[in-house]
């Protein structure tokens, strides 16, 4: 009976996250699902608390990351980078496109995919509209590169920390994912340049950049320098396998002091820039996934995945990668990453094969959401952001673009991961 009840709670929670009935937020759906797991006795309060405390590093990383991103947005760092790209492009929309692709890659690598999709998007929208350019090629670039470049570094996507844990071996991370990441970025850029080739023949007048100047403050350049320094410290922390959560929070504190000394720290605006509901969503999903773990469902799922692999590690890596990607597009990448992390951990493969599968989960969870507009919370919010500018996103076009690039990128990355074991 509990098995059926727990599975029902799990499926209902995922359905509510996807459908958002009565405008129920993802966080509310996850928290209600967690409460149901607790009230039915499927998960004890002690087990729930232990599961949440186990993810302390993830919580700190999210907090530090979102605070840093909000500070960068207040200082106009994103506007500074976009303006630099527009000036360098010299009136060519094609060159501007490549430059903004590079800016998106840099922002994602240093500040995470959420920063690119949520904070670079408004800046790029304002830039291209003020220059009289066709906006869609540039706006699709911001959301796609946010996921495509999100496994260049461990800090490029919070899901990386969620899947790999508090201590990430930087050399191992690069060995498994650097080549797939660079390949994915190249494929993404080339396919988009071909797809949008007609729109990118336009030219613009670089003198029409005044609108972007108003979004910058004198703190923009010092803040950018601080972000680069923080990125180097985080890479060093990953090298020494130190937990990234405390490093991210210390970095956010240092950048807050920089803004305070410059007289430009606005605590209320900073607090509004943090997506507090994300903590509710993460907390709820951790407890819900703990519930299906207690019922043995994740172990069965892991056994089923191994059966699909039919004893071949390569086939299993492909199944895990593409399975995670499909699930991410249906129910969001965070819950899918949590499910797959547990399922893989409970499989019976050798340690080297298990390591390959963990990175296969990461590849599917990071790249997978690029097929639908509900694959990640950042993409959903990206759609809402564009509506502020009167821009309606064609879901069909998004899916077509996703199918043009995502399967090819996953098919390239999966065998590479298999070769590293």
Q: What is residue 289's predicted lDDT score, i.e. its pLDDT?
A: 83
pTM: 0.80
Q: What is residue 213's predicted lDDT score, i.e. its pLDDT?
A: 62
Q: What is residue 230's predicted lDDT score, i.e. its pLDDT?
A: 85
3-state secondary structure the chain: CHHHHHHHHHHHHHHHHHHCHHHCCHHHHHHHHHHHHHHCCCCCHHHHHHHHHHCHHHHHHHHHHHHHHHHHHHHCHHHHHHHHHHHHHCCEHHHHHHHHHHHHHHHHHHHCHHHHHHHHHHHHHHHHHHCCCCCHHHHHHHHHHHHHCCCCCHHHCHHHHHHHCCCCCHHHHHHHHHHHHHHHHHHHHHHHHHHCCCHHHCECCCCCCHHHHCCCCCCHHHHHHHHHHHHHHHHHHHHCCCCHHHHHHHHHHHHHHHHHHCCCCCHHHHHHCCCCHHHHHHHHHHHHHHHHHHCCHHHHHHHHHHHHHCCCHHHHHHHHHHHHHHHHHHHCHHHHHHHHHHHHHCCCCCHHHHHHHHHHHHHHHHHHHHCCCCCCHHHHHHHHHHHHCCCCCCHHHHHHHHHHHHHHHHHHHHHHHHHCC
Q: What is residue 159's predicted lDDT score, i.e. its pLDDT?
A: 84
Question: What ranges do the domains of the chain cover?
Answer: 2-419
Block means of pLDDT (10 residues each) for the chain, length 421 residues?
A: 82 78 78 91 90 86 84 82 81 88 87 76 80 87 88 84 78 91 92 91 77 68 86 80 85 91 85 81 86 79 73 85 86 79 75 84 89 74 69 80 91 91 75
């Amino acid at each position: 009976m509990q098995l059926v009840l727990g599975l029902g709670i799990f499926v209902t929670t995922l359905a509510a996250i996807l459908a958002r009935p009565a405008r129920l937020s993802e966080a509310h759906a996850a928290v209600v699902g967690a409460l149901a797991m607790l009230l039915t006795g499927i998960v004890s309060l002690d087990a729930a608390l232990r599961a949440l405390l186990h993810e302390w590093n993830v919580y700190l990383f999210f907090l530090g990351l979102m605070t840093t991103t909000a500070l960068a947005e207040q200082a106009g760092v994103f506007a500074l980078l976009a303006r630099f790209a527009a000036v360098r492009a010299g009136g060519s929309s094609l060159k501007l496109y490549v430059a903004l692709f590079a800016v998106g890659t840099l922002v994602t690598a240093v500040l995470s995919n959420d920063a690119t999709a949520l904070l670079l998007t408004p800046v790029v929208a304002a830039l291209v509209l003020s220059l009289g350019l066709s906006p869609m090629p540039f706006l699709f670039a911001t959301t796609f590169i946010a996921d495509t470049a999100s496994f260049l570094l461990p800090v490029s996507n919070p899901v990386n920390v969620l899947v790999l844990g508090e201590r990430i071996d930087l050399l191992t991370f690069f060995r498994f994912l650097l080549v797939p990441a660079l390949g994915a970025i190249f494929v993404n850029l080339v396919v988009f340049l071909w797809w949008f080739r007609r729109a990118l023949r336009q030219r613009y007048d670089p003198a029409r950049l005044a609108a972007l100047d108003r979004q910058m403050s004198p703190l923009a350049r010092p803040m950018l320098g601080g972000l680069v320094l923080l990125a180097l410290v985080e890479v060093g922390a990953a090298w020494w396998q130190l937990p990234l959560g405390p490093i991210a929070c210390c970095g956010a504190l240092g950048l807050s002091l920089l803004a305070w000394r410059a007289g430009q720290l606005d605590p209320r605006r900073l607090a509004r820039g943090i997506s507090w509901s994300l903590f509710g969503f993460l907390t709820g999903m951790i407890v819900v996934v703990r519930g299906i773990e207690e019922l043995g469902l994740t172990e069965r799922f892991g056994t089923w995945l191994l059966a699909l692999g039919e004893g071949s590690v390569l086939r299993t890596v492909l199944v895990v990668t593409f399975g995670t990607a499909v699930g991410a597009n249906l129910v969001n990448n965070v819950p899918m990453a949590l499910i797959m992390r547990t399922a893989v951990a409970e499989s019976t493969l050798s340690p080297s094969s298990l390591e390959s599968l963990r990175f296969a989960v990461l590849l599917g969870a990071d790249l997978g959401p690029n097929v639908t507009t509900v694959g990640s919370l950042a993409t959903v919010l990206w759609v809402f952001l564009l509506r502020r500018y009167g821009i309606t996103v064609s879901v069909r076009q998004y899916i077509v673009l996703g199918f043009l690039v995502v399967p090819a990128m996953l098919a390239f990355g999966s065998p590479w991961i298999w070769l590293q074991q």
